[in-house]
Structure 1
Amino acid sequence: MTARRSHQQMTSTSAMQNLSKPPALLLPPPGGVALRIKNSPGTSGERLSQTKSMVIPDLDSSQKPIQRHKRNQSQYGTSQGVKPFQPVLQGEYLNKTKIFEGGKKLKKNWASTWVVLCSNELHFYKESKQEAMASLKPGFKPEGVDLCGALVDWTTEKSSRKNVVQISTRSGEEFLLQSDDYSTISKWHDALRRAADRLSSSEAGPGGGKATLQRSSSTECLSRRAYDSTKVKAKEPKSENRRSLMFKLNYSASDSADKIGVKNRLKKFISRRPSMKTLQEKGLIKDCVFGCHILNLCQREGTTVPKFVQLCVKEVEKRGLDADGLYRVSGNLATIQKLRFIVDREEELNLGDSQWEDIHVITGALKMFFRELPEPLFPFRFFDHLVEAIKTKEHKQKIQEIKKLIHQLPRPNHNTMKLLFHHFRRVLTKSRQNLMSTQGISIVFGPTLMWPELDAGNMAVNMLYQNQIVEFMLIECVEIFGPESK
């Protein structure tokens, strides 16, 4: 009886000790699940519960202590040993512009920008250097340039500014950095070159081997070959971007050679091209009537007065002397151009046709013919002499001087002028019907029949002398040219 009581006391004592202890943690075997024993208040039994937190280590790797603190893990997806914002060269204000993106050329838009060179990127900040500190905050993404595989060099062709550095990325983007201070921009040029070379060499891996990649959620490193086996490939730049970049690089090197080759080919082509005279002799090129020198035109037609001038004068005297504003009123320009086209093609022309019913079309075409002569009806070398002659105060002496000059003209010019001025006298005989006078005809035909070779003098003064010469010759037509030949 005494032994039974002592056994019960020992049992109750051990039970009380077990209740006062914390729940026992059952250590699982490798790869197992941790089980925890705990007491549930209000129940008489004990239950086992499984925790859902577990660690699944890599079977291929050795067991490493798991670091639970967030700051001890690679939370930002950066490469091993590289911090998300680690300035290599402290920020500075530089002038920046983007000139090429996505295979398209952009307009230069220079802006003063705070520039910071980090371990693997060049960051741009719009306002000030305080904005650079905001990159430490989660989710902030400043404008940047990936320097891996980039080309950094001086340039003088892309901008008229001095001290310009060009950055060409492998994705087809191009940036220009500039500073008026050469020492400042030279420092940045050297730093950017070093960073681009370092990143390009590190991409090939140490010793030229494969580069290593890191998981964003662990500290393990995978080889490039193992990463490629997962069939996840990095996004490559568009082919057109690569083509445009390679074209720019190749074109700048061979630009001068291409220009020299083009010049040589043009010289050979021009030297082998037949002359204008040869083409005219073969009949491949024919001079038009409008714009042809009057000497060449008359020689080609075998006359001393152009045939078109004779046709127009004859048609006007036949049915247009009574027209109001003859030679002063302009005809329809489209119809005049149509008439000119027919004359230049040397087609058979009938000015009595109904499509040339308006007499002002014929007079307009005649005025256009004289205006488009390469040398006026009064040749250039006679202009100054005629101006000096018209200034003579004595009337008879003035007639003699002008008559002498007119008889010195080439025969086609003299005969055409004689026909034209006698025609003007017949127009004046109908002045009551057509309302034209000697002054009106001189105003119309003064600048049409003569003009200086070089407009060095006063245009208004020249026009005054032109009108006076034509008006005086019209009044003294018989004295200067003689009677009209039948």
Structure 2
Amino acid sequence: MAGTRITSITGPGTQPPLIHPSQLTGAAQGTVQMRIKASQTPGERLSQTKSMVLTEPESPLKPGLLKGEYLNKAKISEGGKKLRKNWTTVWVVLDSEQLLLYKESKQEALTNLKPGNKPEGVDLCGAVIDWTTEKSSRKNVIQITTSLGSEFLLQADSYPTICKWHDAVKQRVDSLSGEAGGPAGGRGGLRRSNSSEYLPRTSRSLPRDGPARSSTKERKPGNRHSILPKLNYSASDSADKNGVKNRLKKFITRRPSMKTLQEKGIIKDRVFGCHLLTLCEREETLVPRFVKLCVEAVEKRGLEADGIYRVSGNLATIQKLRFLVDQEEELDLDDSQWEDIHVVTGALKMFFRELPEPLFPFRFFDQFVEAIKTKELKPKVQALKKLVLQLPKPNQETMRLLFRHLHRILEYSVKNLMSTQGISIVFGPTLMWPELDCGNMAFNMVYQNQIVEFILMESVEIFSLDRK
């Protein structure tokens, strides 16, 4: 239509001038008054008059500018530093070079002049605007990233509303970029931190069918900074990268071996979890030093302790003791922090449980099981004694020291309330287990307990101990 013709019914024969719709301001458009002419006589037909009442036209808005409207806003970063997301409702006004965010409408802010009513400005020079579905679980969200690295999220419940603001802000950003001459002009993109150099600005538009269909290719979940422009590396940057790679290659190829580091004392083997043969070879002894210290401490102040080896100590303190032992620091079990004797016994049991191969080696497990099945006493003792003598020397000597110690524990059974059966239940699964536990665990545990209990009862004969 070329124009809108407004005709008054009451004045026939007169013809008002044409008024173009662009001359109707937001306040004037749609303002229609209905006038009804009262009837003069009962039979007279009512006549109606429609007239368009035009107010004084306001000054038209500049292209790309919008009046105020309530939107939801969240500031998620400032100067590159992340902030906690906090959604608030603000009155948004699109100005010539910035987006003004009022805590209340502009009219209310002008009437209520307080320091806190000053709007927050979002500089649009060199800014980037884009739709986002990654920074918030809300729908209809756009993100504005300023040239200084601050990031704002704007959201509206209505998609047409937020789409209108997206297009207007994008148009204004493009206009400011053109006026400044693009990146060469210094205001055409994101600015590097602590620098006056601006990066190329990128922006993507969203199709009109909604933000959920912004792209046929799905974004990767981990790409949370996909809106930021990619840096263009120069040839010098590539040379620096190659130099770093070459230095790393040289370091890796020239790195010392594990054996060299161990010989220099840079890397030390642990005590807990170390193979018994390796540990004894390193310490140049047949019985690990830590086992000797624990046995001496228990025999010194724990033989009469109620439930010795059955009662558990504080696990945190046991782990602390284990750490000190692995660091090969000077260990004094008479120190007050190891006053609880159950911590010492707990650490000793942990040492045997964490051996890569138990005190009763894997290859002897089935042989000990077959020996314990012997019904007659003397052949059973001789069979077990023969197997013990076949063990590696560190295993044999450590076993001899341990069972002599446990035999002493039984001498105080009246006070510590420990029996051969109670000790075998504790040490059976601790000192021996099959390499491949493919059988019945309960079945194996029965034989483990029986073997330890029988060796404990016949330890004097099996280990040729002195009868004292």
Provide the TM-score with structure 1 as the length reference.
Answer: 0.51
Structure 2: give runs of 5+ residues left out of the alignment: 1-57, 186-190, 201-227
Structure 1: give runs of 5+ residues left out of the alignment: 1-80, 209-240
Alpha-carbon spacing, 1:318–1:112, altered in 2? closer, same or farther (3 Å): closer
Larger Rg: 1
Give yes or no for contact 2:352–2:430 (8 Å, CA) kept in 1.
yes
Alignment-derived partner of residue 425 in structure 1: 407
Matched to 1:433, the amino acid is K
Alignment-derived partner of residue 282 in structure 2: 300
Alpha-carbon spacing, 1:478–1:136, altered in 2? closer, same or farther (3 Å): closer
Aligned mates of 2:344, 2:112 — CA distance in 1: 86
Alignment-derived partner of residue 444 in structure 1: 426
Aligned mates of 1:294, 1:197 — CA distance in 2: 74
Shift of 1:479: 9.3
Give yes or no for contact 1:82–1:119 (8 Å, CA) kept in 2.
no
Alignment-derived partner of residue 281 in structure 1: 263
Alpha-carbon spacing, 1:381–1:183, altered in 2? closer, same or farther (3 Å): farther
Matched to 1:154, the amino acid is D
Shift of 1:195: 0.8
Alpha-carbon spacing, 1:448–1:173, altered in 2? closer, same or farther (3 Å): same
Alignment-derived partner of residue 171 in structure 2: 194
Alpha-carbon spacing, 1:468–1:97, altered in 2? closer, same or farther (3 Å): same
Q: Deviations over 1:204-226 (max 9, x none)?
A: 9xxx9xxxxxxxxxxxxxxxxxx
* DSSP-derived class of the 1:476 partner: helix
Alignment-derived partner of residue 477 in structure 1: 455
Aligned mates of 2:434, 2:254 — CA distance in 1: 37
More helix as a share of residues? 1
Aligned mates of 2:134, 2:230 — CA distance in 1: 14
Aligned mates of 1:313, 1:124 — CA distance in 2: 76
Alignment-derived partner of residue 35 in structure 1: none
Aligned mates of 2:231, 2:353 — CA distance in 1: 50
Between stretches 354-363 and 279-288, larger displacement belongs to 354-363
* DSSP-derived class of the 2:359 partner: coil
Alpha-carbon spacing, 1:471–1:193, altered in 2? closer, same or farther (3 Å): same
User: 1:310-329 alignment to 2 at 5 Å?
Assistant: 310=292, 312-313=294-295, 316=298, 321-328=303-310
Alignment equivalent of 1:435, drawn from 395, 404, 417: 417
Alignment-derived partner of residue 88 in structure 1: 65
Aligned mates of 2:83, 2:342 — CA distance in 1: 56
Aligned mates of 2:197, 2:398 — CA distance in 1: 64
Shift of 1:423: 3.2
Aligned mates of 1:354, 1:111 — CA distance in 2: 59
Shift of 1:472: 1.0
Q: Deviations over 1:327-381 (max 9, x none)?
A: 345679869957984795376x887999989866654553343345455435678
Shift of 1:297: 0.5
Provide the TM-score with structure 2 as the length reference.
Answer: 0.53
Q: Deviations over 1:187-244 (max 9, x none)?
A: 644432321243455579xxx9xxxxxxxxxxxxxxxxxxxxxxxxxxxxxxxx9846
Alpha-carbon spacing, 1:386–1:95, altered in 2? closer, same or farther (3 Å): farther
Matched to 1:473, the amino acid is I
Matched to 2:403, the amino acid is F
User: 1:51-130 alignment to 2 at 5 Å?
Assistant: 88-89=65-66, 96-101=73-78, 104-110=81-87, 115=92, 117-124=94-101
Alpha-carbon spacing, 1:170–1:443, altered in 2? closer, same or farther (3 Å): same
Aligned mates of 1:120, 1:449 — CA distance in 2: 80
* DSSP-derived class of the 2:462 partner: coil
Alignment-derived partner of residue 412 in structure 1: 394
Alignment-derived partner of residue 6 in structure 1: none
Alignment-derived partner of residue 328 in structure 2: 345
Alpha-carbon spacing, 1:150–1:373, altered in 2? closer, same or farther (3 Å): same
Aligned residues: 358
Give yes or no for contact 1:422–1:477 (8 Å, CA) kept in 2.
no
